[in-house]
Amino acid sequence: MPTLVTRKRNLKHSVPARLVTRLGNAMLAALELPEAELSVLLTDDREIHELNRAHRQKDKPTDVLAFAMDENVPDPAGILGDVVISLDTADRQARARRRPLLEEVRFLLAHGVLHLIGYDHAEAEEKREMVALTRRLVRLAPLPEVPLRRPGLRRKLPKGSKKSG
């Protein structure tokens, strides 16, 4: 599939790369770019701080950065670019918004992908449009259902007995 997810080693926070890949592919399909290539880096505040300083002259960490391969019209079958997400910042934002980390990562991924295809939020009208499109893209990339564990479904072994296996 067209989304490649890379995780920096030894991150404090865990988000399955395969789920982020699935979200990225769903977003590309929703944007009618199913053959486009997207690279996603899941990293920490230290690395995104360095990137933010080097590329945006902002000396602080941020939640998401997007680096488009082509600032003009994206090639529907080409490389869109890179989205970099700080899981440290995403975790803080998720806790503040009282939602799971994966939901925050999905939101940041949608935001980054929209930047890659030319959307911005410098002006008030642009911001309104981008927020609406981000929300729409999030809805079009649903999270997988997480099965709930039901207590009591596992048979307990009596004390002193061993599992056979």
**Identity of residue 71:** E
Residue 124, domain member (yes or no): yes
The CATH number of the domain holding residue 62 is: 3.40.390.30
Contact, 17 vs 42, CB < 8 A? yes
Distances (CA, A) of 19 to 3, 24, 122, 146: 11, 9, 30, 12
Q: Is the pLDDT of residue 35 over 60?
A: yes
Q: Is 54 exposed, middle or buried (0-12, 13-18, 19+ CB in 10 A)?
A: exposed
Mean pLDDT of the chain: 87
Distance CA 21, CA 31 (A): 15
In a domain, 118, yes or no: yes
Q: Is pLDDT larger for residue 58 or for residue 163? A: 58
Tell me the C-alpha to C-alpha distance, in Å, between residue 93 and each of 27, 40, 64, 118, 152.
Answer: 22, 19, 12, 25, 35
Positive or negative: CA dihedral 6, 20, 35, 117: negative
- Mean pLDDT (whole number) for 110-128: 93
- In this prediction, what percent of the chain has a pLDDT beyond 70? 84
Q: Tell me, yes or no, whether 152 lies in a domain.
A: no
> What are the tens digits of pLDDT across the range 37-96?
999 999 999 999 999 999 999 999 999 999 998 776 666 678 899 999 999 999 999 999
Q: Is the pLDDT of residue 152 over 60?
A: no
Q: How confident is the model at residue 149 (pLDDT cuts 50, 70, 90)?
A: very low
**Which structure tokens are listed for 26?**
């769903």
Mean pLDDT value across residues 18-43: 94
Mean pLDDT of 95-112: 97
**Count of structural domains within the chain:** 1
- pLDDT at position 73 is 60
**Looking at the domain assignment, is residue 145 inside a domain?**
no
Residue 146 lies in a domain: no
Instruction: Confirm whether 149 is domain-assigned.
Output: no
What's the pLDDT at 157? 45
156, part of any domain: no
Count of all residues that appear for the chain in the document:
165
Q: 161 vs 72, which has greater pLDDT?
A: 72
Mean pLDDT, residues 96-125 taken together: 95
Q: What phi, psi does 42 have (nearest 5°)? A: -95, 120
Give rounded-to-5 percent helix, strand, coil for the chain: 40, 15, 45
Task: Find the domain containing 43 and state its range.
Answer: 3-139
More reliable by pLDDT, 82 or 155 = 82
Side-chain half-sphere CA neighbours of 12 within 13 A: 10
